[in-house]
Amino acid sequence: MSLLPAGRDRLAEEAAYLAKSHRRVKRRPHAADIMKGESFFDAERRESRDVWGEFYKTEWQTPEGLITGAELMSALRDHLAELQEEQCCYCRQPLLKGGFARPIEHVLSRSEHPRFTLHFWNLAVSCERCNRLKGKTQSETFARSLSSYPGHVDFISQYHPRLHAFDAHIKYAAIIQNGVNIPLYAGRTVHGRNLCSQFLHAAALEMTLLSPKSKLYGDVTTIQNFIVSHDEAAIDRVQAVQIALIEAMVNAATG
Ligand SMILES: [Zn+2]
């Protein structure tokens, strides 16, 4: 099974990350050993358990001083963000600084595929919005017992930001109308269309409506305040309206 599309080298990409696995140069060889020891590139030895929170809190004593899981994740985030040219892996908007603004995203969700919670190829950096909106959507269906990470050809319906090329799957354009930046996304493939309908269109609408220059900004804020004080069913209904709206906008702009 080939993990990466032709022309890309899995070991070279892993080595490029390991060379920057800690902010302090002297600790990098030790950080690299820790990540290899943690089966970061190979889930076969891993239990099917979500170790994310645990890893953050773990500390390792090395000849160059203490290394913490939080430091390792911070270096990983920097590396992934650099690979993505400081853009969100899904919506391509510029990433803001700070861990909260650029969460590490699990492509296969932690709940459905806990074995890949801490797996190099399952991680990307998204914006807070995409991370939140993607939250409840379902990952590609693989057996929970799957132990080696699937290759790009195995993802037959889900867009994978580390294994697939964004431009091949999604057409992205932005128009500026009355000072409001309106991002537009259209799927070119099954993967791209799924990504759009699952959350990218909703993200685009949210960006448009929540732009402070939007005429609707005040209205949307009122609606959102209303939603938080009401039930989940109301949220689902409002979200359905949001998605229908953005789909109409995208169709009008690209059709
Ligand atoms: Zn995003």
Torsion of CA 205, 235, 98, 109, to 10 degrees: -100
The alpha carbon of 131 and the centre of ligand 1 are apart by a number of angstroms equal to 7
Quote the CA–CA distance of 184 and 181 in Å, as a whole number. 10
Contact 209, 217 (CB under 8 A): yes
The alpha carbon of 199 and the centre of ligand 1 are apart by a number of angstroms equal to 10
pLDDT tens track for 57-91: 999 999 999 999 999 999 999 999 999 999 999 99
Q: Each residue of 226-251: b (16+ CB within 10 Å) or e?
A: eeeeeeeeeeeeebeebbebbbebbe
Please report the pLDDT score of residue 244 as a whole number. 72
Please report the pLDDT score of residue 181 as a whole number. 78
The alpha carbon of 133 and the centre of ligand 1 are apart by a number of angstroms equal to 9
The alpha carbon of 203 and the centre of ligand 1 are apart by a number of angstroms equal to 7
Quote the CA–CA distance of 120 and 13 in Å, as a whole number. 10
pLDDT below 70 — which residues of the chain? 1-2, 98-99, 214-235, 238-239, 242-243, 246-247, 249-255
The alpha carbon of 25 and the centre of ligand 1 are apart by a number of angstroms equal to 31
Quote the CA–CA distance of 201 and 91 in Å, as a whole number. 9
Quote the CA–CA distance of 234 and 167 in Å, as a whole number. 35
Contact 208, 180 (CB under 8 A): yes
The alpha carbon of 87 and the centre of ligand 1 are apart by a number of angstroms equal to 8
Tokens of 96: 């803001």
The alpha carbon of 7 and the centre of ligand 1 are apart by a number of angstroms equal to 27
The dihedrals phi and psi of 46, each to the nearest 5 degrees, come to: -85, 145
Please report the pLDDT score of residue 252 as a whole number. 66
Please report the pLDDT score of residue 223 as a whole number. 64
Quote the CA–CA distance of 27 and 211 in Å, as a whole number. 42
Please report the pLDDT score of residue 217 as a whole number. 64
pLDDT tens track for 5-18: 999 999 999 999 99
The alpha carbon of 164 and the centre of ligand 1 are apart by a number of angstroms equal to 16
The dihedrals phi and psi of 93, each to the nearest 5 degrees, come to: -80, 150
Please report the pLDDT score of residue 210 as a whole number. 74
The alpha carbon of 91 and the centre of ligand 1 are apart by a number of angstroms equal to 4
Quote the CA–CA distance of 252 and 232 in Å, as a whole number. 30
Quote the CA–CA distance of 162 and 32 in Å, as a whole number. 20
The alpha carbon of 94 and the centre of ligand 1 are apart by a number of angstroms equal to 8
Rg (the chain; Cα; Å): 20
Quote the CA–CA distance of 232 and 228 in Å, as a whole number. 9
Helices (H), 40-175: 52-57, 69-83, 128-134, 166-169
Number of CB atoms found within 10 A of residue 61's CB: 9
The alpha carbon of 205 and the centre of ligand 1 are apart by a number of angstroms equal to 12
Please report the pLDDT score of residue 22 as a whole number. 97
The alpha carbon of 128 and the centre of ligand 1 are apart by a number of angstroms equal to 7
